Structure 1
Amino acid sequence: MEKQKVVLAYSGGLDTSVILKWLEEHYGYEVIAVCVDVGQEEDLVAVEKKALSTGASKAYVVDVTKEFITDYVFPTLKAGAVYEDDYLLGTSFARPLIAKKLVEIAEKEGAVAIAHGATGKGNDQVRFEATIKALNPFLKVIAPWRIWDLKSREDCIDYATKHGIPIPVTKKDPYSRDRNIWHLSHEGGNLESPWNEHDSSIYMMGVAPDKAPDTPAYVEIEFEKGIPTSVNGIAYDPVEMIHTLNKIGGAHGVGIIDIVENRLVGMKSRGVYETPGGTILYEAHKSLEKLTLDRSTMSFKKTVSEKYAQLVYDGLWFTPLKDALDQFVNSTQEYVTGKVRLKLYKGTCKAVATASPYSLYNEEFVTFGEDHVYNQKDAEGFINLFALPLTIRSLMKFENEKEAKKEKKAI
């Protein structure tokens, strides 16, 4: 009897290496390993070989790095979406793309299920499974961390050792990391206590801010309709651009955050995130919007940005609301074209100059010198109308107080 097939989201790391063998042992499935390349800078040929040597019947390595940037990173950048004021959503928006590819391969291979290595305590289980349900609700989902007897990463290490599975993690280095071209996250180990200061030796995308050069660097980003197109006057394709900005930002300790965040499942978690290039782009984009968007649009877009970030964080990428918000965001980006100059210095990234053919900043109107376009006398009438509700309320208050004094005297 032909075995049923399961598609496994495979990275070659500890969890998925163990899961591959475990699926064979406990379900008798034919396991098809799928490694989705979102720019994690690993030896994916070795990952493919490891999957096959560990028991996979077939192994896919799918490079979606460019699609990740153009269809997931850039829309989120245009939205200005930042989760809880800090997190640039590096892991969050990679998950729906990975899950989308898992569904496509499962349909191609005639698989009955998709398996993933996300834990029952984390956000990724929701992101993977919400996407799978949105794209193909007939596929079964297997989440071993929610059902097996292994209770810790140490148990997984013991299981891997018992079955002769090579792993890149030891009990002395228990960090859980997620990497793609946009960011790198560090969780677990001594980071689980928020009282422990993290050790800068964990950084992999750049230097510690106090080890950065003593001389600041300047970088110039050009945008067209909210999309970055060049760095320092040189046009790059999306993948080259992010790599370039990661190197520039990393060299100056830019984009390192240590935060406690609220997970969707109800608990708080602590992580250290590195996002050097992304931090530069967010700062540049925000600065250009301040030059090109009117006050009301900027104000409402902040509300949209917050909701957009929550949707992405919660794994609700393929939803009607997300599609509707994209339409609003895209309309706001029509004139977000221009260039921004930023100063990088020991972990900081600040916009110092902006220019746009669609700038709403007009020197003739705001000058402190004599001008012929703004009659300051007009301000008096504006203030009278603007403050009219305050005036009426104050008159009412004085009138009521006057009447109260009369009644008191009458008594």
Structure 2
Amino acid sequence: MSFIPYGRQEISEIDIQAVVDVLRSDFLTQGPTVPTFEQTISDYCGAKYAVAVNSATSALHIACLALGVGEGDIVWTSPITFVASANCALYCGASIDFVDINPRTYNLSIEQLQHKLEQAKKNNRLPKVVIPVHLCGQPCEMKQIHQLSLEFGFKIIEDASHAIGGKYRGESIGNCRYSDITIFSFHPVKIITTAEGGVATTNQAELAAKMELLRSHGITRDPMQMTHDSDGAWYYQQIALGYNYRMTDMQAALGISQMQRLDEFVQRRHKLAQRYNELLDHLPLILPWQHTDSYSGLHLYVIRLQLSAIKLTHREVFDALRQQGIGVNLHYIPVHTQPYYQTMGFESGDFPESERYYQEAISLPMFSAMTDEQQERVCSILTKILQA
């Protein structure tokens, strides 16, 4: 019995050759391929700048730093995300808080955000940055979030780790029309991959320059940024405390090659999602709902069990699928329930919609190379489990 993973990379011979070409070149890192990849991303998304780094986590970190997040500041995000969306604020010495999710989209709730902002304004505890997470690839309601940012004075980082290739209101996610910075992830289970890697897009030259500086130790060779004239061609200055967050040219080469098939990958995911909707419609499940303003990247296909209508528990369904070779997963455990975050005072019950979601959600296999036969097997096994 073959195992069907919940996600996996699709690597072609052209991808492999692109990496081999870099391996045979003069530059394995800090060469010309990373800037080419950055230009490919910015052109696709319609953003002025793209800054490539070694992971989306690193991109989130330097995005927060570029926006001046530090001690005494507060950052808000969704509880239903990977921990990196919250950890990035803590790396900067800031504190973190959460906004509960919309029960239909599973993204940050606009109503909850507005209510929390109104309360925070009264208490003089407004966030410096809000990080909406485009869960599963479906964009958040960014126009409304942007309007609230103008009213309450916060900056916006879109965590679009799941969402490259998607659109919001007919435009590419990543164009930063409604945000300061957008973050993408290129981990192997994502829509395209650079093995590991991430990118931050922005339309603000100052933010791009700060992130470029921070990804490479805070070092510059630009005479215009130096405190005095250069000592010679070898000279550089460290003008900030940065990190070694650089992407290699090998990773960038893979990314450039993968970008040529991005739209094809997303179209296939949409076909798979449509088939899931048809094949699972008769079961006691809540299937994914898509907002009319969105064209999802469909990184994930999440079902929610109607537990009152089935005999098994959430865990029993999950375990039964795994035992039959279906590599389901759960995205995500609410961040505020993690032990590390509970030491900060967060408690179960703080964000009830997120906790209800966690008790019912299962991510089914979804990847562009998934065959119709594999999908039919997933649905057949799930049907037998739920109807037992």
Question: Would you say same fold, with TM above 0.5?
Answer: no
Quick check: which one's helix share is greater? 1
Bigger RCO (CA 8 Å, 6+ sep): 2
Give the alignment's TM-score, normalised by structure 2.
0.31
Bigger radius of gyration, 1 or 2?
1
Give the alignment's TM-score, normalised by structure 1.
0.30
Quick check: which one's strand share is greater? 1
